Amino acid sequence: MMSDTVAASDAATAFFEERGRRGRESLLAKGRGTVCVELTNGTETQPWLVTIDRGDVKVLQGTGHADCTLRTSRELFEQIVTGEVNAVAAILRGAIGITGNWQLLVLFQRLFPGPPKTSAATADTGATGSSG
Amino acid sequence: MTTGAFVKILDGNTFVVSDANGDIDASLTDATGLFSFDTRYLSKWLLTIDGQRLNALSTDDLNYFEARFFLVPGTGTVYVDAKLSVIRQRAVGDGFHEELTLLNHNEKPVELTVRFDAASDFADLFEVKDALAKKGTYSTVVDHGELVLGYQRETFSRATRISSSVPAKVDEQGLTFKLRIEPHGEWKTNIDVVTAGLVASGAVESRTRYARNGGHGRSSMEENLERWLGTAPRIQCSWDPLRATYRRSLVDLAALRFSPPIAGGKSLPAAGLPWFMTMFGRDSIFTSLQALPFKPELAAATIQTLGSWQGTRVDDFRDEDPGRILHELRYGELPAFEERPHSPYFGSADATPLYVVLLDEYERWTGDTKLVREFEHEARAALNWIDQYADLMGNGYIWYQRRNEETGLENQCWKDSWDSISYRDGRIPSFPRATCEIQGYAYDAKVRGARLARLVWKDAALADRLEREAAELKRRFNRDFWVESDEYFALALDTEGKQVDALSSNIGHLLWSGIVDTSKAKAVARHLMGPRLFSGWGVRTLAAGEGRYNPIGYHVGTVWPFDCSFIAWGLRRYGFKEEAARIAAGILDAAEFFDGRLPEAFGGYERSVTRYPVEYPTACSPQAWSTGAPLLLLRTMLGLEPIGDNLVVDPTLPAGLGYLELLDIPGRWGRIDAFGRERVEAEPPTGLRRQLGSTPAPRSSRQRARRRT
């Protein structure tokens, strides 16, 4: 999860930077490939490249080869990375454009958190199993 | 697939339901039309000639994906010879392709006006079921000779494009052809109806598979079906109906294959045709287990796809937890706008332990440790879910209670109707509930997880822990669920830890899971084969005499072939071979009444009373796990069990089968043949006809396994 000190308008940047800092993500242990996330804001497009290699995650800001590309507004993406909007539902309603490898997409969406107001008992997002 | 007046053809999750003329004229609640990805793309598709509807002479289901309609104009009375024949041949792909042929039998030329009226309401499957109103806007555009029907709600957009090989006059309500046919001549056009959507914004490109000039477009799907049948084990036996049932099961299983865009081209079994052509955790797993000795690739695809979609967060709306295996995924408008939780929905308490069971059983058959290694993380997360998230009462059992109280599922076990879980006196317990069979699955998941941990993941500490937990669970379960007075296991525990004490078919699943103490197994088998549970065809979901028993109640008295197939497996596991053979005999006998296609359920009436199985009316046929039931029964009758690198064959066949040979069974051994000849008397003759298991014969037993190289 991103730090609380990051301003809401930077939630997307915080999400990518946090992923880059963590480096290793057991949820993506099966994944291999590069996901490009294109964030649009009016006429401006900001691309992020997330390269996954068997659980090792590298994040770059910029363009390059991608196996799967997600294109969406920065506003919607920020709602996704704060758990306010569900990514799969957003894809189903066409709010996120997808090209390329869907299997990689299914893995990548594991990184998005659940909704913020959820049952208190077990709200430890991301902690699945004990393997690495 | 013809059911009553409706003709259904499908490919994956695209299907067409029309009347016997091939026409579609749907109201919102009426379930006809062209559907794809849970959206109706055509709700009207009417053919007229000179303004008149046609009459069907005959309708042929050529295959599950194509149908042919022979039509004539006029009244259809046999006393007037029609001078015109109309043939519609339709194949479903991504949309459908229709070849229309008109034959003039007259000595004179004819001039005709042929018209297709087309429209779409773009209803979500859920709307068709619940008659909900639409919130978006419709459009109709004529674009370069194509008719484009569209629907838009914010970014959600779906479209149907209709075009023809012979140029038509296209208006916003359809296509018109003005034509002339010479004496004894013919006229032909090909029409493509192409669905576009889930992903006009970029994802699934939808193009009908049948090129317009290809006309028939049959080849690839037909070849695919032939290859599917050709690579399945072959059956030889002296009882003809079993051969027919086996073939029917394989063909239906082919039709039920479903390749979602996220499965990387692999096919897993969907739940049922046509409304449940989607990923269901429970149904896909049970069907994959049933089909393992025949089509192990289904299990591999199920493990991969369900594993990839495994829950990773806590989400009350979707009843999602980390490690939980999904219940159902849908692609329509309501899940897209979060008016339904199926994106995907996780409200199933059994799919997660069953996922581990499938992974282990798959390895035992195929030796594919690579896949087991690849899905180690998911299997561990599933095992973790059992203890971390499912034990809502903190007493070591899996409990379920939906967190989405508006649109979530109340009963998260396979008997998911509201009244399926009851005390003997008919009272319904509150939530959360711990049904017995889920504890069995959890036990089995821990035992099998331990085996995989030792063998593949090389984690002895995990294996030890899982074995310890399994033994502890078994001890507790045999104490807490055992109804001492009548010697069976209660259907569930309620929140106070009291037994929900109705006698049900669930106890058969307990045998399958292995959680039953050996000392208690005989009493359980006696109940399963006793008059309150065994109808003569199979095991009733709820025993006669219970408060809510109703022989035609969905989960409270009907007989489910899928249920019975796992019960037979359970009986075998505890050594009750003849009892398993009696159940196989009953279900396979019943299959003959349905031309080899077992329904989801049939009435729990006593066999000797009705003499035939009374089908429970449901919208879906075939159902995947009913289709898989004869396959699992073949396995249990032959006593097929992978032990190490060998397949052990230990047949116990009902009388009337004579001999049974299954050739080229795939597995870690390559290909092996299994052969059996035996006799078990299943039921006294009822006089209706010769029934399986009813012919007394001298007892003999033989078995053989041949390795093929």
Query: What are the DSSP calls for B3-49, one per residue?
Result: ETTEEEEEETTEEEEE-TTS-EE--TT---EEEETTEEEESEEEEEE
| Cβ–Cβ gap B322/A88 under 8 Å | no
The complex scores an ipTM of: 0.86
pLDDT at B416 exceeding the cut of 60: yes
pLDDT for position B9: 83
> Tokens standing for A33?
């490939």
B380 to chain A: which residues are within 8 Å by CB? 129-131
| Cβ–Cβ gap B377/A26 under 8 Å | yes
The mean pLDDT of chain B is 89
Q: pLDDT, tens digit, for every residue of B266-300?
A: 788 888 876 777 889 999 999 999 999 999 999 99
pLDDT at B650 exceeding the cut of 60: yes
B153 to chain A: which residues are within 8 Å by CB? 93
The rounded distance, in Å, linking the Cα atoms of A79 and B579 is: 58
pLDDT for position B198: 66
pLDDT at B401 exceeding the cut of 80: yes
Of B237-241, B399-403, B457-461, B533-537, the range with the lowest mean pLDDT is: B237-241
Q: Give which of B308, B331, B370 to mutate to test A binding, by max A Cβ within 10 Å.
A: B308
Instruction: Tell me which fold the domain B2-205 belongs to.
Output: Beta-galactosidase; Chain A, domain 5 (2.70.98)
Q: What three-state secondary structure class fits B354?
A: helix
Average pLDDT over residues B4-16: 78
Query: What are the DSSP calls for B458-512, one per residue?
Result: --HHHHHHHHHHHHHHHHHHHHHSEETTTTEE-SEE-TTS-EE---BTHHHHHHH
Chain B contact for A40 (CB, 8 A cutoff): no
pLDDT at B206 exceeding the cut of 60: no
Task: Give percent of chain B with pLDDT exceeding 70.
Answer: 89
The rounded distance, in Å, linking the Cα atoms of B588 and B631 is: 10
Q: Give which of B205, B345, B377 to mutate to test A binding, by max A Cβ within 10 Å.
A: B377
* Cβ within 8 Å of B, A 11-30: 26-27, 29-30
pLDDT for position B263: 66
Average pLDDT over residues B687-702: 50
Residue B129's pLDDT band (cuts 50, 70, 90): low
Residue B175's pLDDT band (cuts 50, 70, 90): very high
B403 to chain A: which residues are within 8 Å by CB? 119
| Cβ–Cβ gap A103/B403 under 8 Å | no
Residue B610's pLDDT band (cuts 50, 70, 90): confident
Q: How buried is residue B16: exposed, middle or buried, by Cβ count under 10 Å (0-12/13-18/19+)?
A: buried
* Cα-trace Rg, chain A: 14
Domains of chain A: 8-111 (3.30.1050.10)
The rounded distance, in Å, linking the Cα atoms of B578 and B580 is: 5
Q: Where are the domains of chain B?
A: 2-205, 231-708
Spatial neighbors of B445 by CB under 8 A, at least 6 apart, are: B352, B353, B354, B355, B356, B357, B382, B383, B386
CB nearest B316 (choices: A97, A119, A131): A119
Closest CA to B679 of B690, B661, B693: B693
Interface A–B counts its CB contacts (< 8 A) at 125
Burial B259-274 (b: 16+ CB within 10 A, else e): bbbbbbebbbbbbbbb
CB nearest A131 (choices: B154, B333, B376): B376
CB nearest A114 (choices: B155, B202, B314): B314
Q: Alpha carbon of B49 to those of A67, A129, B62, B166, B603: distances in Å? A: 51, 64, 25, 16, 45
Do residues B423 and B503 lie in contact, with contact meaning Cβ atoms separated by under 8 Å? no
pLDDT for position A2: 43
> Tokens standing for B196?
């576009």
Pick the CATH number of B231-708 from 3.10.20.590, 3.30.530.20, 1.10.10.10, 1.50.10.10: 1.50.10.10
A97 to chain B: which residues are within 8 Å by CB? 201-203
pLDDT for position B65: 87
The rounded distance, in Å, linking the Cα atoms of B564 and B593 is: 17
| Cβ–Cβ gap B202/A106 under 8 Å | no
pLDDT for position A118: 53
Q: Give which of B37, B314, B318, B352 to mutate to test A binding, by max A Cβ within 10 Å.
A: B314
| Cβ–Cβ gap A122/B261 under 8 Å | no
Q: Alpha carbon of B318 to those of A25, A126, B339, B386: distances in Å? A: 24, 16, 11, 18
| Cβ–Cβ gap B317/A115 under 8 Å | yes
The DSSP symbol for B345 reads B
Q: pLDDT, tens digit, for every residue of B534-579?
A: 999 999 999 999 999 999 999 999 999 999 999 999 999 999 999 9
* Cβ within 8 Å of B, A 57-76: 71
Average pLDDT over residues B458-471: 98
Residue B697's pLDDT band (cuts 50, 70, 90): very low
Query: What are the DSSP calls for B186-224, one per residue?
Result: EEEEEEEEEEE-S-TTSS-----SS-GGGTT--HHHHHH
Q: How far is A46 from chain B (nearest CA, A)?
A: 19
CB nearest B377 (choices: A29, A86, A96): A29
Chain A contact for B202 (CB, 8 A cutoff): yes
* Cα-based angle B591, B592, B598 (whole degrees, multiple of 5): 25
Query: What are the DSSP calls for B149-162, one per residue?
Result: EEEEETTEEEEEEE
Residue B680's pLDDT band (cuts 50, 70, 90): low
A106 to chain B: which residues are within 8 Å by CB? 262, 308-309
| Cβ–Cβ gap A86/B200 under 8 Å | no
pLDDT for position A93: 92
B344 to chain A: which residues are within 8 Å by CB? 88
Q: How far is A100 from chain B (nearest CA, A)?
A: 8
Average pLDDT over residues B297-313: 95
| Cβ–Cβ gap B314/A119 under 8 Å | yes
* Cα-based angle B166, B159, B623 (whole degrees, multiple of 5): 100
The rounded distance, in Å, linking the Cα atoms of B202 and B382 is: 33
With a cut of 50, list the residues of chain A below it in pLDDT: 1-8, 120-132
CB nearest A93 (choices: B156, B316, B318): B156
pLDDT for position B616: 83
B377 to chain A: which residues are within 8 Å by CB? 26-27, 29-30, 128-129, 131
Do residues B145 and B168 lie in contact, with contact meaning Cβ atoms separated by under 8 Å? yes
Do residues B374 and B315 lie in contact, with contact meaning Cβ atoms separated by under 8 Å? no
Q: How far is B583 from chain A (nearest CA, A)?
A: 39
B378 to chain A: which residues are within 8 Å by CB? 129
Q: B37: phi > 0 → left, psi -120 to 50 → alpha, else beta; which?
A: left
Q: pLDDT, tens digit, for every residue of B55-98?
A: 998 888 778 889 999 999 876 555 556 789 999 999 998 799 99
pLDDT for position B694: 58
Task: Give percent of chain B with pLDDT exceeding 90.
Answer: 76
Do residues B412 and B473 lie in contact, with contact meaning Cβ atoms separated by under 8 Å? no
> Tokens standing for B576?
């009750």
Angle between helices B376-388 and B460-480 (to 10 degrees): 40
The DSSP symbol for A21 reads H
Q: Nearest-CA residue of chain A relative to B382?
A: A129
pLDDT for position B655: 85
Do residues B548 and B534 lie in contact, with contact meaning Cβ atoms separated by under 8 Å? no
Average pLDDT over residues B373-400: 97
pLDDT for position B79: 53
What is the distance in angstroms between the CA of the first residue and the CA of the last residue of chain B?
38
pLDDT for position B212: 36
| Cβ–Cβ gap B155/A94 under 8 Å | yes
Residue B202's pLDDT band (cuts 50, 70, 90): very low
Do residues B192 and B217 lie in contact, with contact meaning Cβ atoms separated by under 8 Å? no
